[in-house]
Structure 1
């Protein structure tokens, strides 16, 4: 079981994460949506496609663009469609 934690709160937990380039990607149904706000930020990966971001908000504190996902990934990244990965201080425990 992988667990994503920030600011003392569990953001996501799952036994069905996908590992890509050293990052745990959590299935969309495993995240605690109340902590996630859509962001206007987008980046592009040459083989995965365009990433969209979430800002994490916990107990009044914001972690801007601390999670990302691929809503329409390229063919080779279909296994992580809508799966959510983390950075910016979000801890992943196994």
Structure 2
């Protein structure tokens, strides 16, 4: 599967390596194009996943604010709820096209 902004692939991995949570595909960290992600200060904490880290995506000088997020340290029980360790996996805002 691919995550694409402005015709640029920013993440790519086989579907079996992704995790689907609450309608979002979470990509493993190794599948990301690392040179375009910048940590964002936007705060959020999910009541069952934990503290969220947002990322902005910077392509060709254009910043796509908070276009991605991850949960670097999961709350107890989150892995069991999902069935897989998804710590650090990255999901994308609806502005990012995610497809097969």
Same fold, TM-score > 0.5, yes or no: yes
Q: TM-score, normalised by structure 1?
A: 0.93
CA distance in 2, matches of 1:64, 1:73: 23
Q: TM-score, normalised by structure 2?
A: 0.88
Contact 1:54 1:68 in 2 (8 A): yes
* Matched ranges for 1:3-82 at <5 A: 3-15=2-14, 16-78=17-79, 79-82=85-88
Alpha-carbon RMSD across the aligned residues, in angstroms, is: 1.0
Unaligned segments of structure 2, at least 5 residues: 80-84
**Segments of 4+ moved more than 4 angstroms:** none
Contact 1:63 1:88 in 2 (8 A): no
Secondary structure at the residue paired with 1:10?
Answer: strand
Count residues in correspondence: 93
Unaligned segments of structure 1, at least 5 residues: none
Q: Which has the larger radius of gyration?
A: 2
